[in-house]
Structure 1
């Protein structure tokens, strides 16, 4: 949340080890969402409602600019209940100390709603409707039907569950970390306050699917009279759109009123073993904050790194109008390749060798695994080899591959993040990720922006239409030994219309 000009990030934290344990909340603040300062832990066991741990939740700014937090606590019976917290000193802009309201818990599962007490968690930021009542969602399930339960309150203390969930979907399992927020239509990139209702607004319902550990979302309409959400595309499961097609989970947006933006933060867990995490002394990171808005088509969200991250850029290296011949490898020199920001755009002219997309190739992740960066193709693979060692024993490749569909003869663009050769450490998870990108590669061209930060590669395809986050741990391609290459393993040539690569300064983490 943003409070008195300061951004506050609260996050799950185990003070007793690098593996999961009963969590408390860490708390850090920032003036730019880039440089951060830690503060004392919050939401520690304080009363029965959270005696066995404090799980995820959300902040809401109440009238009078007063912050409140709702989060999930584990009570003495290890049942999940919703807990209300307030800052001890509203005049402290850093909000270092919090207390739990005496009447907690404020929401709890009841036999009447047929909700299992182990499946009732992660309240959203609340929003207020014209009737003066607050609404909040809590993630749940009934059997294997995923639910977003709706609660209402006049005073933010006494909450009553609505008769029906705001939305549910069969066989989708437990819905964790729900998020519900408005977005402007017609290509308006401004963010909307969470309580905004207007004719030029649609709503996004996002949930984290416990079964697959994917963050999926739908775009639709919110009927405020019925308190019901109807997605434009009527499902919520792994076939839904995803924020990120790599390691990315339990994400949350908030409205940045100072910049009129909606900001998305997400958790990227490790790809390393618990033993390696123990040696490192930590596990789990937050990704670079992203601006998020509705594409002008109304069919999907666009994500882009916040502009403040560009303040870390230095010493740009540029390349224009360079033909990348089939089978070629070109090193980008003059940058710190282990910590870089790279933007590259491609023009597609040579179409004679484009491959046909088999009708059975419907799963982009499997297709990227089958046709990785080392597999020669027609039009692609072409893109970037990040965190590469000198002899290419290690690299994480982010690339495109273009096909033509058998029946429609339309181009199909595959975007991949290939971790199969990311590290010589045999214990790492080296899953390759992939997604189809809704773009016409000939008319629009193709673009990539890749943020590289030692063990993290965040890749934004087609100006933010699709994003893939990878966690990789090279053993050779580290620090000054890391290299960056542009490659093309297709038989067709592609042209780089523009490449700019920046070395990145370190963010200040106090």
Structure 2
């Protein structure tokens, strides 16, 4: 690979380099890379940068994988440590599944660190899957993670930048139970989440049998019992597991944030009593057709509970095993904007974008006191783009539905339709015409390996949402090339991936059905990029 002239005829050289660099060759050991000269590395890096810049769907102000494959791209180990936000994430290289690491002072601009965790030749784990970070009783940072083909494991760090990690010699702390063993009937050593409480260590082990473990020292754990005192009636236990758990206090409640692999992100609110979680409510954060997945939170110095999630990409085949297949544009892996979770005065969940995003606003355009007439779609002539924030207050008391078309081409060949229905109490994102690329397929379930049933094609996502009596609709919509996030009245958020192909698919239109709606005010900003490219 020392002579790049051999590959001048290849237009996707960076993808080729990535393919070779990610080869899962059993002869490679440790953190070894393909040997290249420094000039060759510089040339390859420049070509990779140009390739990524040519990608019309690479987000500009969302956290994305800097290069290579991120499938899965779970945010993990988020922690506020010594004045910086630290975010870890799963990615894939020649070692297999590893944890990348980035840190930030403002949640917008990120500095990438060396790879935090990877499966070394002498380690029992053969890959690094989901987990979390917490402060130990000794003041160190612990990462509790799932070690592929081993079980749940722990690594420790105490340096200011969290660059140096030492895995416990006793890993795995709990091995994967043998098939048919008594332990297998009780728990899975899978997707853990740990914390310290009243001088003891606690850990949730996820899966189909979510369980609780406890320890007095960080390397000596014992099974306590089932995590859930009961489940909620809207959970389909036949195909839904409880993975990527995140457990924390929220107001006067305890929250259990998680996924099911079939339905994506979700959250329970309830009580933590006698070493069991007693759910009182269950709320989806993703609905059939969406790909909001693998949420992770931290609490910062301001007391905010901040959440990210991986938003699956539908441009390519979903897989987590074939690590040798290079992404077409040299990268994959996108996260949501950071969101703040809190409770309202009535105990219901609030979901809001972080205030720091306001720093990215440029080129303000406004609409004041506009009547949106029934059954007429009106294009907002001065407002459009592929990297936007739109904030609006709408009186829809005389209408059944207020809607907005985004990323719309002039004649509607491509458009994504967002509808707020006051009578049916829901938000619908219709992406049936979002792209002219017929190779892109959206599916109802996020992943489908928990059932033998087929996964039907999806053309829309529907989330519950209701307005209170005389309440105005207050929306905040973030658009970033291929991701749309819709916040409504601080109580609901819907996330959708879309892939318009036309350069003129940047228009915004508004419409109303069942009567006219009235826009009290609407503001739109271009959003400054935070990613280097």
Normalised by the size of structure 1, how large is the TM-score?
0.78
SS in 2 for 1:311: helix
**Which residue of 1 is the match for residue 463 of structure 2?**
435
Residues 139 and 402 (structure 1), Cα distance of their counterparts in 2 relative to 1, 3 Å cut: same
Q: What displacement does 1:122 show?
A: 1.3
RMSD value over aligned CA atoms? Answer: 2.3
Between the two structures, name the one with larger relative contact order (CA 8 Å, sep ≥ 6). Answer: 2
Residues 228 and 155 (structure 1), Cα distance of their counterparts in 2 relative to 1, 3 Å cut: same
Tell me, yes or no, if structure 1 residue 136 matches structure 2 residue 203. yes
Say if 1:107 and 1:159, in contact at 8 Å, map to a contact too.
yes
**Which residue of 1 is the match for residue 425 of structure 2?**
413
Task: Judge which range, 302-311 or 100-109, deviates more.
Answer: 100-109
**Aligned length in residues:** 423
- Of 487, 490, 502, 2:525 maps to 502
Residues 315 and 50 (structure 1), Cα distance of their counterparts in 2 relative to 1, 3 Å cut: farther
Say if 2:98 and 2:117, in contact at 8 Å, map to a contact too.
yes
SS in 1 for 2:93: coil
Cα-to-partner distance string for 1:217-254 (whole Å, 9 max, x where unaligned):
2211111xx21111124xxxxxx411233321111111
Say if 2:263 and 2:286, in contact at 8 Å, map to a contact too.
no
Q: What displacement does 1:28 show?
A: 1.1
Say if 1:109 and 1:115, in contact at 8 Å, map to a contact too.
no
Say if 2:418 and 2:428, in contact at 8 Å, map to a contact too.
yes
SS in 2 for 1:473: coil
Could you tell me how far apart the structure 2 residues matched to 1:509 and 1:242 are?
Answer: 33
Superposed, which structure 2 residues align to 1:307-456 within 5 Å? 307-335=355-383, 337-350=385-398, 379-380=400-401, 382-403=402-423, 412-430=424-442, 431-440=459-468, 442-456=469-483
Task: Judge which range, 170-179 or 464-473, deviates more.
Answer: 170-179
- Unpaired runs of 5+ in structure 1? 142-146, 185-200, 234-239, 352-378, 404-411
Could you tell me how far apart the structure 2 residues matched to 1:133 and 1:64 are?
Answer: 12
Q: What displacement does 1:160 show?
A: 1.2
Q: What displacement does 1:208 show?
A: 1.1
Q: What displacement does 1:166 show?
A: 4.2
Could you tell me how far apart the structure 1 residues matched to 2:202 and 2:436 are?
Answer: 50
Tell me, yes or no, if structure 1 residue 121 matches structure 2 residue 190. yes
Could you tell me how far apart the structure 2 residues matched to 1:434 and 1:266 are?
Answer: 19
- Of 151, 156, 162, 1:95 maps to 162
Could you tell me how far apart the structure 1 residues matched to 2:139 and 2:108 are?
Answer: 24
Could you tell me how far apart the structure 2 residues matched to 1:509 and 1:335 are?
Answer: 25
Cα-to-partner distance string for 1:88-142 (whole Å, 9 max, x where unaligned):
xx34x3222322122211122443333488x43111141313xx2121111022x
Q: What displacement does 1:399 show?
A: 1.7
Could you tell me how far apart the structure 2 residues matched to 1:277 and 1:325 are?
Answer: 49
Could you tell me how far apart the structure 1 residues matched to 2:248 and 2:404 are?
Answer: 35
Superposed, which structure 2 residues align to 1:2-401 within 5 Å? 2-16=80-94, 22-46=96-120, 49-63=123-137, 65-74=139-148, 78=149, 80-87=150-157, 90-91=158-159, 93-110=160-177, 111-115=181-185, 119-129=188-198, 132-141=199-208, 147-167=209-229, 169=231, 170-171=237-238, 173-184=240-251, 201-210=252-261, 212-223=262-273, 226-233=274-281, 240-245=282-287, 246-256=290-300, 258-274=301-317, 278-298=327-347, 300-335=348-383, 337-350=385-398, 379-380=400-401, 382-401=402-421
Say if 2:477 and 2:485, in contact at 8 Å, map to a contact too.
yes
Could you tell me how far apart the structure 2 residues matched to 1:348 and 1:10 are?
Answer: 42
Say if 2:142 and 2:156, in contact at 8 Å, map to a contact too.
yes
SS in 1 for 2:173: coil
Q: What displacement does 1:51 show?
A: 3.7
More strand by share: 1
**Which residue of 1 is the match for residue 515 of structure 2?**
492
Q: What displacement does 1:496 show?
A: 0.5
Say if 1:148 and 1:178, in contact at 8 Å, map to a contact too.
no
Could you tell me how far apart the structure 2 residues matched to 1:150 and 1:102 are?
Answer: 23
SS in 2 for 1:163: strand
Cα-to-partner distance string for 1:447-506 (whole Å, 9 max, x where unaligned):
221100001101112x22121111111100x4xx34332321514110011211111000
SS in 1 for 2:210: strand
Task: Judge which range, 259-268 or 213-222, deviates more.
Answer: 213-222
Q: What displacement does 1:423 show?
A: 0.4
Could you tell me how far apart the structure 1 residues matched to 2:207 and 2:369 are?
Answer: 52
- Unpaired runs of 5+ in structure 2? 1-78, 232-236, 319-324, 443-458
Residues 123 and 296 (structure 1), Cα distance of their counterparts in 2 relative to 1, 3 Å cut: same
